[in-house]
């Protein structure tokens, strides 16, 4: 009898603990499941939380964000829109809903949500970056894209923001401006392999092949298994061989040609290991 009473008491406490969970606790548990890749369990926790807290914007946001990650656009839009209805100042909900609208090509709605995210969080550089990226990749509005990239750097002159603007300048052919930004990115984080690689490609576009080789060599030092950089360095070495040949320096031409062949062989080998 005493054992039965204890079990009843324990069960009562457990049920009370579950029923008294806050929306934040449900969200936290679901987030942990998502980090661990346990998406079905995360969905179940969020759904359970919404049954207990049906008007909680955070839980609707969590379910909407996770549904977007799982490529369920309809469910994502439903819950993200509900989160915004419940909390019209929820900037991140606008930002994520913009991604959903972009995935289904509803670009007018994308821009509205991106504008709202910027309006609600004017000091958050990420909001400007995502709008800039939309301007230049989708709308091809380079003027407004550049204005947003500039604003992101003004708010936070980080290596990521300089790198991002450098990529933008590269894409529109402003190589000297791109070089300035990628130089700053590398100064701020000289282990950022992507900035070294992109600057090497800019040097290729500017036909500054020695500097391209130097940057590609640095990428290889950081990551010797990067196939693409061996292809790129091979190209730079071939160009150096060509110009050495034109100048009459046959020994130097043979040296660069040998290096180009070695890089190409390594690239092929890395390709075969995939």
The predicted model scores a pTM of 0.82
pLDDT exceeds 70 at position 13: no
Taking only the tens place, the pLDDT of each residue in 197-249 is 999 999 999 999 999 999 999 999 999 998 999 999 999 999 999 999 999 99
**Confidence at 3, pLDDT banded by 50, 70, 90:** very low
Mean pLDDT of 59-73: 96
Mean pLDDT of 141-156: 97
| pLDDT, position 2 | 36
**Confidence at 36, pLDDT banded by 50, 70, 90:** very high
Q: Between residues 83 and 9, which one has the greater pLDDT?
A: 83
Q: Which CATH class is domain 23-121?
A: mainly alpha
**Confidence at 166, pLDDT banded by 50, 70, 90:** very high
Residue 186's contacts (CB-CB under 8 Å, 6 or more residues apart) are: 159, 192, 195, 196, 199
Mean pLDDT estimate for the chain: 91
Mean pLDDT of 253-274: 92
Percent of the chain surpassing pLDDT 70: 93
| pLDDT, position 19 | 44
Mean pLDDT of 243-259: 94
| pLDDT, position 140 | 94
Mean pLDDT of 103-108: 96
Whether 123-210 and 23-121 are alike in CATH topology: the answer is: yes
pLDDT exceeds 60 at position 7: no
Domain spans in the chain, listed from the N-terminal domain onward: 23-121, 123-210, 225-274
The correct answer on CATH 1.25.40.10 for the domain covering 123-210 is yes
**Confidence at 20, pLDDT banded by 50, 70, 90:** low
């Amino acid at each position: 009898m005493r054992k039965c009473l204890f079990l009843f008491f324990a069960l009562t406490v457990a049920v009370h603990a579950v029923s008294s969970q806050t929306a934040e606790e449900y969200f936290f548990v679901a987030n942990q499941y998502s980090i661990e890749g346990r998406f079905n369990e995360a969905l179940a926790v969020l759904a359970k939380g919404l049954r207990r807290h049906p008007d909680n914007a955070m839980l609707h946001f969590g379910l909407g964000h996770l549904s977007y990650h799982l490529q369920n656009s309809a469910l994502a839009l439903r819950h993200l829109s509900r989160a915004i209805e419940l909390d019209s100042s929820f900037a991140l909900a606008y930002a994520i809903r913009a991604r959903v609208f972009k995935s289904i090509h509803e670009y007018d709605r994308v821009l509205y949500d991106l504008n709202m995210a910027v309006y609600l969080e004017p000091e958050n550089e990420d909001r400007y970056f995502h709008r800039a990226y939309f301007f230049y990749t989708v709308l091809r509005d380079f003027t407004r894209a550049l204005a947003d990239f500039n604003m992101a750097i003004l708010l936070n002159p980080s290596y990521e923001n300089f790198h991002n603007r450098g990529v933008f300048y590269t894409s529109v052919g402003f190589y000297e401006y791109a070089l300035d930004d990628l130089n700053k990115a590398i100064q701020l984080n000289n282990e950022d392999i992507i900035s070294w690689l992109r600057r090497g490609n800019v040097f290729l576009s500017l036909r500054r092949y020695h500097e391209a080789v130097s940057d590609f060599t640095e990428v290889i030092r950081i990551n010797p298994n990067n196939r693409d950089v061996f292809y790129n360095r091979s190209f730079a070495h071939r160009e150096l061989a060509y110009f050495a040949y034109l100048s009459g320096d046959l020994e130097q031409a043979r040296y660069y040609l040998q290096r180009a062949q070695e890089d190409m062989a390594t690239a092929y080998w890395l390709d075969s290991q995939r």
